[in-house]
Amino acid sequence: MNLCELRIGYACINLSLKKKYRTFRLKTIEDYDIEKIKEVVEQNIILLGNIIYHNIKNNIYVYRITADIIPFIDKAEMKSILEDYNILNSNKIRNELERIKKWQKEYGLRISMHTSHFTMLASPKEEVIQKSIGELCAQAKFLHLVGGQNLVLHVGGAYGDKVETLERFKRIIKENQDKLDLNLLTLENDDKTYTSEEIVQVCKELGLKWVYDFHHERCNPSKNSDIIELLRDYPPDKCHISSGVHAPNKPPHADYVEAKDVEALQNQLTLAGIKQEDIVFEAKQKDLSIYQVMEPISEGYWKIKSIQ
């Protein structure tokens, strides 16, 4: 049996380039400091282009954009400023976004974004739900500009009643499917509350994609389904992997991903009959964690250097 082929990527910060995305305080929006906002957004978009160009040159075709690339995009005031001052349509930003989208098509890049922990569609509070919908809409709009495929979301807390919360979550999505981009929305199993099994059930009902987080499954395993059968029955659109700091089933992420964990995930995917998968390394050492245990093949694919 041929092993599942892996395209490997990372999330948000590129440590090799030694440059960080910028932000500003909420007061910047309240004071309508348009020049500051333009400057930060422009520099962030240019850095995004530089990171993706660097990734391609280093055989990395999978990348997760930070949800903070446009600071406070969940705020109504910020969205108004972006629209009123046509910030994303400036020549520099538009050219950079078009360049990224061109690369995405040319190389088949996997570009995604993970919503912030403030995005809580399952909240019992209507104002939180509406704010979350606004954030998801703004992020989906940005992903379209760069050819992104996944807007990743957790269900969130249980709010005292897990069954009721899941039903509310599904109802909110159904009631707002004309606003939410269901082609982008991708649910992920988490390390404390909602298992892979539960996420797959929701995704099946709503017709959504899902992310299989290997480490989260170890911390919070499915109780009634074998993970191989689950992966075979409803293959994930992409995967996340990390290694625990103190123990395999402890949530905190280590600096690097252990080769044995990559091997274990690859074996699971292979046994499930999955031929190819995009994997995001969620390690503190970001892109450097890839080079630690993997070696490039070509066209975005990597193989494990050695098993520790």
pLDDT tens per residue across span 4-22: 999 999 999 999 999 999 9
- Return the closest-CA partner of residue 14 out of 290, 253, 215, 296: 290
Give me the mean pLDDT over the 272-292 stretch: 97
Grade residue 206 by pLDDT with cuts at 50, 70 and 90. very high
pLDDT at residue number 250: 76
pLDDT in tens, 208-251: 999 999 999 999 999 988 999 999 999 999 999 999 987 777 77
Residue with the two structure tokens 């990372």: 10
Beta-bridge partner residues of 277: 6
Is residue 52 pLDDT above 90, yes or no? Answer: yes
Question: Percent of the chain, pLDDT > 70?
Answer: 99
Per-residue confidence (pLDDT) for residue 231, from 0 to 100? 98
- Look over the chain and give the mean of its residue pLDDT values, rounded to a whole number: 94
Mean pLDDT of 99-122: 94
Q: Is the pLDDT of residue 284 over 50?
A: yes
Cα-Cα-Cα-Cα dihedral sign, residues 195, 196, 197, 201: positive
Q: What is the mean pLDDT of residues 133-147?
A: 94
The more confidently predicted of residues 117 and 31 is 31
Residue 307 pLDDT: 55
Residue predicted with more confidence, 246 or 263: 263
pLDDT over 50 (residue 35): yes
pLDDT for res 279: 98
pLDDT at 308: 46
Average pLDDT in the 38-53 region? 97
Query: What is the Cα 265 distance to its own chain's centre?
Result: 18
Average pLDDT over residues 145-150: 97
**Contact present, 212 and 239 (Cβ < 8 Å):** yes
Task: Give the pairing type, strands 301-304 and 5-11.
Answer: antiparallel
> Which tops the pLDDT comparison, 125 or 246?
125
On whether the CB atoms of residues 133 and 151 are closer than 8 A, the answer is no
- Cβ–Cβ under 8 Å, residues 118 and 125: no
